[in-house]
Amino acid sequence: MTGAARRVLSILFADLVGFTELAERLDPEDVAAIQQEYFARAHEAIVRHRGNVEKYIGDAVVGSFGVPYAADDDAEQAVRAGLDIAAALEGVTESLQLPPGALQVRVGVNTGEVITTPLSGDAGEGSMATGDAVTTGYRITGDAVNVAARLQARARPGTVLVGPETALAVEPSMVIESAGTLSLKGKRAPVPVWHVVEPRAVPSREWALRALQSPTVGREEELGLLEQSWSLAATQPQTWLVTAPPGVGKTRLVTEFGTRVGWSGSRVWTATVTAGHGSGYDAVAQLIRSALGSLADAANAHGQLVARLARHGYDGPRARLSADHALALVNGRHLEAEPAVLHSSWVAVLDTCGDVLDVPGDADAGPGSDTQPPVWVIEDLHHAGDDLLAWLREALTWPHRRDRMVVVTTRPSLAGRAVAAMPGVCELQLTGLGDTEVVSLLDEMLGSAVLPSATSAGIAEASGGNPLFVEELLRSWTHTGVLQPHPGGGWRFTGTDAPGALPTTVQSVYLGQVDGLPDTPRQVLHSGSIPGRTFPARALPDLDVPGPDPALRMLTDWGLLVGPHAHRVDDTSYTYRHGLLREVAYATLPRLERARLHLRFARWVEALGSVHAADEVIGTHLESGVRQRPRSGAHPRRRHDQGSRGRGGRESSGERGRGAPGECSAACRAAARARSRTHPDHGTPGAVPPARPGRGAAPVRPVGGGDDHVRRRR
């Protein structure tokens, strides 16, 4: 990430309790030793949970989570770091031989939108003296930072206090208790806050949704395809790659599918690939443990597994070796073999288990006792590394593989494309729900007629067909009281307006997807968001993306963009497959940058000369450029055409013959006065009207084939 950016971050403030009084009673060297030990423990906890130590201020530590790369669980990691810092203080007290309770810490964590600005210098990570010691190279500014500091000041010693957006994000993984509302300095209204009690033993999004649970909506076509494929798996192994952006419903789809085939007697083994945790084979270990069932922990597990392998044609030494490798992986023991040998051992064990009923204590059930093929479900493959991909390739090309069905889910990613290229893989690209399906989802979650029809329609439009948006919006409403339990059961809606802001939980998920892209594709998404949901490829060089063609091909191949196709301004246009991706890419741009790019796009359109409704397009982007300029007047005057000239000072198209920097021609000014307001685009007035991609009759895209479903089902 380069340049200033708007981002959703989780900010942690941790401050020692009563340290000033303690320092007064101790020798300065003892005070320094306490600080050094405390800072070291805090630094280790923050970094272990993928955070950055921003500053050491006196006896306080400030950490940030989500820069330079965002992740789904940034808020959770911030809270876990806070809990670890509080727990570490007990060790510091003991190691320094201080009285019990002499050192305690208060922690506040808050999540919200901030501005991150790269710094030219870095004070150095090693400096732990008092004062400011910036260690990440970013200056972080925004109300979310101030609130985190206020929360820390109001937390009980030894506890973590979190704000509303953090509470919403961590509810699936943390036990939290409402602490009411607090009147915080600088805040006009009281802020609802929560105490963190402890991590949940088993994270559960279903628990966080509670009464907002709903059945699967709008996926019968896709479920039918998977069920039909499963019916063929008894005679021919089947492999499906389910690809979709965050929140579209991959997990809901495969969970529903697993439930249905489970009712028919098939065994479903599941694994989830996690980012940055454990070994590269953790998902394989989950699959094998799921397949072995109670046998994995049996006292004679090795002998029973060897016997099972022998019955399926593996000789004595080979059976013993495969059993060794499988149980070593499941129990976290060191693996001593070449990867190819390990891979074949694990596949052999899984396919052997696929031929017998997994009855607790019955390892002697013979082959064919269950005729239904097993289903392997591997979720979130976009987190996979090379080791897991190599194992999966071995499994899918295993010459003696048994009848089975493998279903893999992924976001658009390099790992997903690698699997799509493997032999025998069919790809199912999920698109957003239609508007009527979103309204049905709302009715299923809340009950019919709870929301005014205009509010339901507004949610359907704002969500872009993304079920995660709907769920997170309703969850946030239950936190703020917009949705309240009805005394007679069900829900009561107390709001008056349609949804406005994108929930930060959803924004963080999509921001992580954008952050994970290489530089040029990421810049294409940012700059392409200026024209709207659909953008002309030929404008990209004027919007700071020189040579965009390879990036456009990659983004199209990954399913993030649809194109090229003819559109209003350009016959080589591209459309964001999911509107929320465009919204997040646009929201990440600072307002000053948005203003500059809107003006440049207006000039690019003007330079084309003859474009249908050009005056309207030019006028709207000029207006957007003026509206997006910072209102405070605190920004230094900036040349709006700065960076718009090519290398060596050459002026770009649309800027030749201009007057003062930032000024537009008389034609531009006339267009601005005459502009129509016909085409607002997802909160960005004056955008080029989008070609809205979506669902069609055949959501299956064969590997290497074209994309023939570009219109969303309504």
Confidence tier at 227 by pLDDT (50, 70, 90): very high
User: Tokens 């201080």 correspond to what residue?
Assistant: 98
Confidence tier at 279 by pLDDT (50, 70, 90): low
Give CA–CA dist 533/687, Å, rounded.
8
Domain coordinates of the chain in residue numbers?
5-203, 239-429, 435-506, 517-674
Q: Tell me what pLDDT residue 646 has.
A: 36
Q: Tell me what pLDDT residue 464 has.
A: 83
Which tops the pLDDT comparison, 54 or 185?
A: 54
pLDDT over 90 (residue 542): yes
Q: How many CB atoms lie within 10 A of CB 70?
A: 25
Give CA–CA dist 197/345, Å, rounded.
43
Give CA–CA dist 621/684, Å, rounded.
9
Give CA–CA dist 553/343, Å, rounded.
33
pLDDT per residue as tens digits for the range 180-198: 888 887 778 888 899 999 9
Two tokens at 497? 């307006």
Which tops the pLDDT comparison, 96 or 220?
A: 220
Q: Tell me what pLDDT residue 317 has.
A: 82
Q: What is the pTM of this model?
A: 0.75
The whole-number average pLDDT for the span 383-407 is: 84
The whole-number average pLDDT for the span 270-276 is: 84
Q: Tell me what pLDDT residue 701 has.
A: 36
Q: Tell me what pLDDT residue 101 has.
A: 66
One-letter amino acid of 536: P
- Between the two ends of the chain, the Cα-to-Cα distance in Å is 37
Burial of 123 (0-12, 13-18, 19+ CB in 10 A): middle
| Residue of 336, 337, 367, 335 lying closest to 354 (CA atoms) | 367
> What percentage of the chain carries pLDDT values higher than 90?
22
Confidence tier at 151 by pLDDT (50, 70, 90): very high
pLDDT per residue as tens digits for the range 566-585: 887 788 899 998 888 898 89
Q: Which residues pair with 175 in a beta bridge?
A: 198
Q: Tell me what pLDDT residue 196 has.
A: 93
The answer to whether residues 411 and 243 touch, using CB atoms and an 8 Å cutoff, is yes
pLDDT per residue as tens digits for the range 586-603: 989 998 899 999 999 989
One-letter amino acid of 284: V
pLDDT over 60 (residue 381): yes
Q: Tell me what pLDDT residue 644 has.
A: 38
- Write 354-360 long-range contacts (CB < 8 A, 24+): 354/267, 354/291, 354/402, 354/403, 354/404, 355/312, 355/402, 356/308, 358/267, 358/291, 358/292, 358/293, 358/295, 360/293, 360/294
pLDDT per residue as tens digits for the range 513-541: 888 888 899 999 999 999 999 999 999 99
Q: Tell me what pLDDT residue 500 has.
A: 58
Confidence tier at 355 by pLDDT (50, 70, 90): low
pLDDT over 70 (residue 280): yes
Query: How would you classify residue 142: left for phi > 0, otherwise alpha for psi between -120 and 50, otherwise beta?
Result: left
Q: Tell me what pLDDT residue 160 has.
A: 94
Confidence tier at 509 by pLDDT (50, 70, 90): confident
pLDDT, averaged across the chain: 78
Q: Tell me what pLDDT residue 428 has.
A: 92
Q: Tell me what pLDDT residue 536 has.
A: 92
The answer to whether residues 687 and 620 touch, using CB atoms and an 8 Å cutoff, is yes
Name the CATH code of domain 239-429 (choices 1.10.357, 3.20.20, 1.10.10, 3.40.50): 3.40.50
Q: Which residues of 175-205 are buried (b: 16+ CB within 10 A; e: fewer)?
A: ebeebeebebeeeeeebbbbbbeeebeebee
- Among 86-90, 203-207, 436-440, 485-489, where is mean pLDDT lowest? 203-207
Which tops the pLDDT comparison, 132 or 353?
A: 353
Confidence tier at 612 by pLDDT (50, 70, 90): low
Confidence tier at 136 by pLDDT (50, 70, 90): low
Helix (H, G, I), strand (E, B) or coil at 564: strand
The whole-number average pLDDT for the span 651-659 is: 34
Q: Tell me what pLDDT residue 126 has.
A: 37
Confidence tier at 276 by pLDDT (50, 70, 90): low
Confidence tier at 76 by pLDDT (50, 70, 90): very high
pLDDT over 50 (residue 241): yes
pLDDT per residue as tens digits for the range 396-455: 887 666 688 999 999 888 888 889 888 889 999 888 899 999 999 988 888 888 888 888
The whole-number average pLDDT for the span 97-124 is: 77
Confidence tier at 80 by pLDDT (50, 70, 90): very high
- Among 203-217, 451-465, 533-547, 655-669, where is mean pLDDT lowest? 655-669
CATH superfamily of the domain spanning 5-203: Nucleotide cyclase, GGDEF domain (3.30.70.1230)
pLDDT over 60 (residue 697): no
